[in-house]
Every structure is written in C-alpha cells, then in structure tokens.
Amino acid sequence: MAVKTQIFELETRHDGEIIDITKNVQQALTSSGLKNGILLVFVPGATGAITTIEYEPGLLHDFPDALDRLIPKDIAYEHHLRWQDGNGHSHVRASFLGPGLNVPFSESKLMLGTWQQIVFLELDNKGRHREIIVQLIGE
C-alpha cells in the first residue's frame, strides 16, 4: 500500500469550457505504478469543478446551458459588488458542483463506464492556468 501524488496542468480558454481529462488521469494512474485502489482528482481553486459526463458535442452545450439557467451570470452577486471581478456566478457554481471526484481503479485501469469521461469544468469568467492534483492510494 502506498500514496502517490501526480499533478498535471491545463490551459483553459473560457467560462463554461468542459475539458476531457480522462487520459490525463489514466496517465497519472499508469505513472503511479499502483494496481488497485482509489484516486482523487482535485482542483485546488474555488472556480473550477470536476465531474463525469458522456463527452459528446450535444452535452457540451446542454450542461453549460443548465448552469446558465440555474445560476445565471447576469444577476446581482455580492461577491461581485465587493471585488468587481465579475465572477460571483463562478464561485457559486463551483461550490455546488464540488472541487473533487473519486474514481476506483483495478488492474491499473479506471473503473469507468464506456460512455463516462472525467471532465474539468472551467467556471471562471476567463481562461486560466490550472494545476490538477491526482492523489492515489492503493497497492
């Protein structure tokens, strides 16, 4: 049993961008040398989120559309009134969705469904440089 820490980087481009990071996470798993265990994909920041989705063009519209309906950009946020950075919606969305995702792995492979990819959601109101942590525990 061991703990391994892997970090990879992303350059995001815009608010609402959904990036398939399944290969990055699988590569972190392969590099770790671990076979069976649990890994945690985590963004150390308050305006991004990690989840899973079927990564196909329709849902890349539908999911941000739902965020725009549920937690709109163009309503008043006290965060924005204080800091004038225009990203109150980004923070609220990120707290709803959560900064991390756990995935089980077995025989050095992610135990995902066939149509299930791991994604990073850029929720900030501009592109960002992102470091994504993959913390693995296993044997």
Give the interface with its own copies as residue ranges (CB under 8 A): 1-3, 5, 36-38, 40, 42-46, 51-54, 56-59, 61-63, 66, 70-71, 77-83, 88, 91-92, 94-104, 106, 111-113, 115-116, 133, 135, 137-139
CB of 13 to its own copies, least distance (A): 20
CA distance 115 to 52: 10
Relative to beta strand 129-138, strand 48-53 is: unpaired
Choose between 11 and 57: whose C-beta lies nearer to its own copies.
Answer: 57
Choose between 30 and 102: whose C-beta lies nearer to its own copies.
Answer: 102
Both tokens of residue 51? 């989840």
Is residue 134 within 8 A of residue 21, CB to CB? The reply is: no
**Position 91, amino acid:** H
